[in-house]
Amino acid sequence: MRWAISDTPWVNRLLRGRWLQWGITVLTLAVFVVVILTGLLGTPAGNHNFGIIYVWLVWWALLKLVLVPLLGRFWCSVCPIPAPGDWLQRRSILIARPGGKLYTCATRLFRKAARGRPRPWPRFLRNIWAQNFGFLAVALFSALILTSPLVTALTLILFIVVSLAVSLLFERKSFCRYLCPIGGFVGVYGQVAPLAVRVKDPAVCATHTQKSCYVGSDAGYGCPYFNLPARLETNTLCSMCGECLRTCNRDNVAFYIQMPGTDLLNTRGRRLDEAFNGLMMLAAAFVYSVVLIGPDGWLKATARAVGAPSWFAYAAVLLLFSAVLTPGLFWLCVRFGQLLGGDGEPAPGKTAGRGSKHATLFAGYAIALVPLGLAIWIAFTLSFTLTNVSYAWPALSDPFGWGWDLFGTANMAWTPYLTGMISYLQIPVLLVGLATAVALTLRTARQHGQRPAAALPVSAFCTLAVVALLTLYMA
Amino acid sequence: MTRITQYASRTTQWLAGGVTLALVFVALLAPLPALNAAPQERQLTINASRFAFEPGTVRVNRGDTVVINLESSDVVHGLYIDGYEIRTQAEPGQPGRLSFVADRDGAFHFRCAIPCGNLHPFMIGKLVVGPNLTWLRAVAASLLVAAGALVAFWRA
């Protein structure tokens, strides 16, 4: 059951036009520039610095509480980080180049004479493993990044430089698709969102040899994320930029409103890199909850003392917990599930070996971690957003902490909002996440030909995660 | 699957979902008999230094009159208790004092209310007012939800 909102004429005009997306991108880019300037030149006190407050409090809360659950990966289409590289590639800021032509150094430097195509993105990196490890790398320094305006600015500068370099060498948004640590989890959690871009009738695409949605046309560019819309089944790799809506000359692409979580219903053919992303994000939420929200001051100091011997111990524990223990425990649950409910059947047309069968089930069951992980991240985000968001008003008037009062809000006092309500907001979110996760474990068992009992260990894993988080916050 | 088994399965789902929802509401909201220990006055001294409170976790019983003496050993620190929405502040040599009746059970973060450095937003402690029924109710609701989802979707 889905409703094509882009079939409404005024919505269609809005989505086909470039002004909306361009306007939001310019706005976010302007904020991004202020964030970098305030990081480099402003006060080092994080709670008085525009950069820290508007990136790690306002933007993060918007991303986790609103954008990802409702709009999926839409943020990626208005993110300021790839914008300069994108405009350089297109040699245009707003209007589409004829034929959707892109320009990169790679187009000249690495052109393969025989095939006449630019150098492709390395095959071994065509997954989100780099994004996973990138996120872990950022997580190692997060206590410093989150609290130091200068480090925040330098991190964002690093992101934009890498993004620019990648866009000069490789076509389309290779940085966003394959490298951005934020894009990885935004894509995975974006599967919960009710907004989706899909083709109306796959049969139309099958007979359309031109594939203007992929190669581009005078109306727009080929999919920046290397997607063929006809093959899109989830939001994971779609930023909803609308290029395919513009370039499809058969009017066969639409923006749909669907039931939230529809993308999660197919648990077959799932990928290990995305499964690992779900596990790593789950582990990271626990680490942040213990380190940042917990009462142990020495732990916070250790996490921030980058380079000190104690920090290396902290980094080792974080990596061990995120990359080994949590995935290991999950793997044990899946294996135990196989003992309880059988090995299941290989995918149609495949004769899977044992190792491949384990991997298939592991990736399939990890789908349950998408609603669960998102719920846990929402609970984590709620724990500090309502208490700290009032720092946003003074930072707006005095972004550098230099004593300005641009909008008359510089002297507004810190006022925690609804602090008595936080638990009552967290509990229902976690319960909905848990119910969805358990339902998905049973669906996974069924779709992989296992008996329902196979879902019990992973369901227990999900329940344990929620009880553990409740204990961290409420006991 | 025949139409009858499909219908039965769907009915089981709705039934299990409805019963689970009802039980979750009961677990979260049902009034429980008070099991409080006799109220007493609790004198607590909390030391604040960048960026931690010592002790980090404080436990009292519902109905206790809590008197917190906040001492600071480095710079000016504040103490704000979530949920109770009360605050005090202290600087070295000048302790702050806070007195209130712990009339809501559960766990409440207390946090520094005066900017004191980079980790200030994460300078957090925890006040646990027992019996901590909020946590127990939430855990019970989680177990019910998991069990209910298993029943509802076992044969779906």
Question: A291-311, pLDDT tens digit by residue?
Answer: 999 999 899 999 999 999 999
pLDDT tens digits, one per residue of B102-120: 999 999 999 999 999 888 9
How far the first Cα of chain B sits from its last, in Å, is 11
Write the DSSP symbol of residue A260. Answer: T
Instruction: Look at residue A283 in the predicted model and tell me its pLDDT.
Output: 97
- Mean of the pLDDT values across residues A47-71? 96
User: Which long-range contacts (C-beta less than 8 Å, at least 24 apart) are formed by B98-101?
Assistant: B98/B66, B98/B67, B98/B68, B98/B70, B99/B65, B99/B66, B99/B67, B99/B68, B100/B65, B100/B66, B101/B63, B101/B64, B101/B65, B101/B66
- Mean of the pLDDT values across residues A314-339? 97
Q: How close, in Å, is residue B41 to chain A by CA atoms?
A: 22
pLDDT tens digits, one per residue of A150-180: 999 999 999 999 999 999 888 899 999 999 9
- Mean of the pLDDT values across residues A316-321? 97
Dig out the tokens for A368 from the structure: 């349950």
pLDDT above 70: residue A352? no
Instruction: Look at residue A353 in the predicted model and tell me its pLDDT.
Output: 64
Beta-carbon separation of A295 and B82 below 8 A: no
- Mean of the pLDDT values across residues B78-94? 95
Average pLDDT along chain A: 93
Minimal Cβ distance to B51: which of A301, A459, A475: A301
According to DSSP, the residues that pair with B128 across neighbouring strands are B59, B107
Please, which residues have CB within 8 angstroms of residue B134's CB and are 6 or more apart in sequence? A423, A474, B105, B106, B107
Instruction: Look at residue B12 in the predicted model and tell me its pLDDT.
Output: 83
- Mean of the pLDDT values across residues A339-346? 84
Enumerate the residues of chain B whose CB falls inside 8 A of the CB of residue A298.
52
Instruction: Look at residue B78 in the predicted model and tell me its pLDDT.
Output: 96
For chain B, positions 74-133, list CB contacts with chain A under 8 A.
Answer: 80, 82-85, 104, 106-109, 111, 113, 115, 117-126, 128, 132
Higher pLDDT, A288 or B156: A288
Dig out the tokens for A310 from the structure: 């104690």
Instruction: Look at residue A364 in the predicted model and tell me its pLDDT.
Output: 97
Chain B residue at shortest CA distance from A430: B142
Write the DSSP symbol of residue A269. Answer: T
Beta-carbon separation of A470 and B142 below 8 A: yes
pLDDT tens digits, one per residue of A192-203: 999 999 999 999
pLDDT tens digits, one per residue of A424-470: 999 999 999 999 999 999 999 999 999 999 999 999 999 999 999 99
Residue A355 pLDDT grade (very low, low, confident, very high; cuts 50, 70, 90): low
pTM: 0.94
Instruction: Look at residue A97 in the predicted model and tell me its pLDDT.
Output: 87
Percent pLDDT > 90 in chain A is 86
Chain centroid offset of residue A412 CA? 33
Beta-carbon separation of B142 and A456 below 8 A: no
Minimal Cβ distance to A470: which of B124, B138, B149: B138
Measured CA to CA in angstroms, residue A444 lies from A36, A323, A334, A437, B89 at distances of 45, 23, 11, 10, 54
Which ipTM score applies to this complex? 0.93
Per-position b or e across A86-98, b if 16+ CB within 10 A of its CB: bebbbeeeeebbe
Enumerate the residues of chain B whose CB falls inside 8 A of the CB of residue A295.
52-53, 56-57, 124-126
pLDDT tens digits, one per residue of A268-295: 999 999 999 999 999 999 999 999 999 9
Is the distance from CB of B76 to CB of B116 less than 8 angstroms? yes
pLDDT above 90: residue A320? yes
The label of the residue with tokens 């310019």 reads A26
* A430 at interface of B, judged by CB pairs closer than 8 A: yes
Give the torsion sign (CA, A316, A322, A323, A328): positive
Instruction: Look at residue A66 in the predicted model and tell me its pLDDT.
Output: 97
CATH C-level class of B41-130? mainly beta
Beta-carbon separation of B150 and A442 below 8 A: yes
Q: How close, in Å, is residue A414 to chain B by CA atoms?
A: 8
pLDDT tens digits, one per residue of A62-118: 999 999 999 999 999 999 999 999 999 998 888 888 888 888 776 654 444 445 456
Instruction: Look at residue A432 in the predicted model and tell me its pLDDT.
Output: 97
Beta-carbon separation of A427 and B106 below 8 A: no
